[in-house]
C-alpha cells in the first residue's frame, strides 16, 4: 500500500498547515513538520483549517533538517521548488517517497536544493508569478503522486443519494 509523505520545512502560516493536514488525512498521507514553525501546533487557526480532522493526522515534528534526516535515513525525497529543473508530473513518485515544500516566504533553503538538483521539481506557471499558495502546491503535487500510485487504498467511486437517473 502506498504511504506517501509530505514534508513542510519551517512552515509559517497556520492556515496553510491546517489545510495540508486535512489533505493528508483525506489521502492517508503522513505529514512531517520541520521546526522552527511560525506558529504553535495548538493555534486556533491551525485547528480551524484542519477542522475536526487534525486528531486523525499522522504527524511528526523535527527540531531541524538534520533531525529529519537522522530519523528518516535513506528516504527518497523530492523537493518542490520554483527553482526546479523538472516538472512535477515528469517525476516518478515511489509509493513511500517524501515530497518536501519550503516555508511560504522563502521556500526550501538553497543549500539543500544544491545538494539534490535532480530531485528538484516545479509546478509550471506563467510570467513572473513567484509561487502558488503552499496548500495548493501540496495538493497539486500530492495528487499527481497518488495518481501515479493508482490512488492505492483510496475510495474511487461515489454515490448519488435520493436521485434517480430517470428523473
**Is 102 labelled a binding residue?**
yes
- What ranges do the domains of the chain cover? 5-148
**Is 21 labelled a binding residue?**
no
Tally Cβ neighbours within 10 Å of residue 157. 4
Q: Model confidence over 55-83: pLDDT tens digits?
A: 899 999 999 999 999 999 999 999 999 99
Q: Tell the residue number behind the cell numbers 526546479, with chain if given.
A: 84
Q: Which CATH superfamily is domain 5-148 in?
A: SPOUT methyltransferase, trefoil knot domain (3.40.1280.10)
> In terms of Cα–Cα distance, which of 103, 97, 63 is closest to 81?
103
Q: Model confidence over 11-29: pLDDT tens digits?
A: 999 889 999 999 999 999 9
**Is 121 labelled a binding residue?**
no
Q: Model confidence over 129-152: pLDDT tens digits?
A: 888 999 999 999 999 999 998 787
Amino acid at each position: 500500500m502506498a504511504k506517501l509523505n509530505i514534508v513542510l520545512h519551517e512552515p509559517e502560516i497556520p492556515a496553510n498547515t491546517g489545510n495540508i493536514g486535512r489533505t493528508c488525512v483525506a489521502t492517508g498521507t503522513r505529514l512531517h513538520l520541520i521546526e522552527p514553525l511560525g506558529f504553535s501546533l495548538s493555534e486556533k487557526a491551525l485547528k480551524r483549517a484542519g477542522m475536526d480532522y487534525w486528531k486523525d493526522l499522522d504527524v511528526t515534528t523535527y527540531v531541524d533538517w538534520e533531525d529529519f534526516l537522522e530519523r528518516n535515513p535513506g528516504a527518497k525525497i523530492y523537493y518542490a521548488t520554483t527553482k526546479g529543473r523538472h516538472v512535477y508530473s515528469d517525476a516518478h513518485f515511489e509509493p513511500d517517497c517524501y515530497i518536501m515544500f519550503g516555508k511560504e516566504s522563502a521556500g526550501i533553503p538553497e543549500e539543500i536544493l544544491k545538494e539534490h538538483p535532480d530531485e528538484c521539481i516545479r509546478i509550471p506557471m506563467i510570467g513572473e508569478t513567484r509561487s502558488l499558495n503552499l496548500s495548493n502546491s501540496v495538493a497539486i503535487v500530492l495528487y499527481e503522486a497518488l495518481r501515479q500510485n493508482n490512488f492505492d487504498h483510496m475510495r474511487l467511486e461515489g454515490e448519488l443519494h435520493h436521485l434517480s437517473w430517470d428523473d
